[in-house]
Amino acid sequence: MPINFDQVPSACFVLEEAKLRRNLEIMKHVQEASGANIILALKGFAMFSTFGLIRQYLHGTTASSLYEARLGYEEFGDEVHAYAPAYFEDEMEELMRYCNHITFNSPAQWERFKHKILSGDKKISCAIRINPEYSEVETDLYNPCVIGTRLGVTADQIGEKLPEGIEGLHFHTLCESDSYALERTLKAVEARFGHLLYQAKWLNMGGGHLMTREGYDIDHLVQLIRNLREKYDLNIILEPGSAVAWQTGYLTATVEDIIDSRGIYAVVLDVSVSAHMPDCIEMPYKPKVLGAQDAKPGQPAYRLGGLTCLAGDYVGDYFFETPLQVGDSIIFNDMMHYTMVKTTFFNGVRHPSIGIWREDDTFELVRQFGYEDYRNKLS
């Protein structure tokens, strides 16, 4: 049964367990058919109350910081990978306790830490992030290959041989992409780094593989991976975040006030776009709202906005068949990835609760936030 939103409080991020399992089944199939390992990128989705389920399907986690590595290690299991643009001297030893794969952003970063890693008791397999100078991501904010990027080394900077002690290569250039964008990207990777692929033991192809989106050509992805594995004798790793939590849940909200602003109904909700769904402003994109359409010219437009002082704290204009009233519910769709991991307490706004709509059609409230959570970030 679909979620009964009457049982879900406002405001609340609510995950639909059955939908998460559906995504994980797809990923399990990709792993089995292609031989690749898929790990969860915690930067995109780190709702650890769901890790018991995810662990049944995915191989491990990948972290972009010490804290994510620790969360992955403590809450998911000991297959933990890491990549960060820079690591810190005073964190490396702890990071090494949690991780079994670490990717460095530059040969200089590797030089800085290689002695510690190669002389440690624990076997940690290390990689360098490469920049194939090819990305189809149109928004510069999400394009790691723009001129001036700090993310990864270009072929001319790395040379003919893998740096001593390096076993893997890592690239991340996709964003909500299909397998055909991956195919074109691989052409660029092979053209520039093909010689190194023969030397490497593994290739991490980053995130951005939206294999759980309707219409994604899974068979094509599987074939691409199989070809790579065969040609270069490589272990292939994918580390999606979005694809894991794609279309698995909602953010519930309530209409608190409606202000007639020169012909536009400016709606104040009990959530904030800026604090709780910042990607809508950063990308920008307009999320789907259940029961609403985009407002067309001539239709009454409801501009759904948030609680903070930021004038631009709104998601856009929507049309509702039935005029909105104070107290009505607003349900934002697809609000699991890059939301909970990015929220803030800007303006001291209340943080939405977190809940799960279980497969047995019961609702479980897993977390509520209070004043202490806000205060603990400050001093």
Question: Which positions lie near ligand PLP, rule CB under 6 A?
Answer: 41, 43-44, 83, 172, 175, 206-208, 239-243
Q: How far is the CB of 150 from ligand PLP (least distance, A)?
A: 12
Toward ligand PLP, which CB reaches closer, 173 or 274? 173
d(CA 106, CA 265): 51
Taking alpha carbons only, the member of 114, 113, 143 closest to residue 131 is 143
Contact call for residues 289 and 318 (beta carbons, < 8 A): yes
Q: How far is the CB of 370 from ligand PLP (least distance, A)?
A: 29
Residues with Cβ within 8 Å of 360's Cβ and at least 6 positions away in sequence, in order, are: none
Residue labelled with tokens 């074939």: 223
Helix H segments across the chain? 17-34, 51-54, 66-75, 89-98, 107-118, 155-158, 179-199, 218-232, 242-245, 273-276, 279-282, 371-375
Toward ligand PLP, which CB reaches closer, 43 or 192? 43
Number of helices (H), then strands (E), in the chain: 12, 17
Contact call for residues 4 and 326 (beta carbons, < 8 A): no
Q: Tokens in use for 257?
A: 């006030």
Q: How far is the CB of 138 from ligand PLP (least distance, A)?
A: 14
Toward ligand PLP, which CB reaches closer, 210 or 356? 210
Residues with Cβ within 8 Å of 187's Cβ and at least 6 positions away in sequence, in order, are: 134
First to last CA, the chain: 46
Q: How far is the CB of 200 from ligand PLP (least distance, A)?
A: 17
Toward ligand PLP, which CB reaches closer, 100 or 347? 100
d(CA 319, CA 211): 31
Residue labelled with tokens 């994510």: 68
Q: How far is the CB of 247 from ligand PLP (least distance, A)?
A: 14
Toward ligand PLP, which CB reaches closer, 15 or 349? 15
In the three-class reduction of DSSP (H, G, I as helix; E, B as strand; rest coil), residue 268 is classed as strand
Q: How far is the CB of 68 from ligand PLP (least distance, A)?
A: 11
Toward ligand PLP, which CB reaches closer, 41 or 145? 41
Q: How far is the CB of 337 from ligand PLP (least distance, A)?
A: 6
Which residue is nearest to ligand PLP, using beta carbons?
A: 207
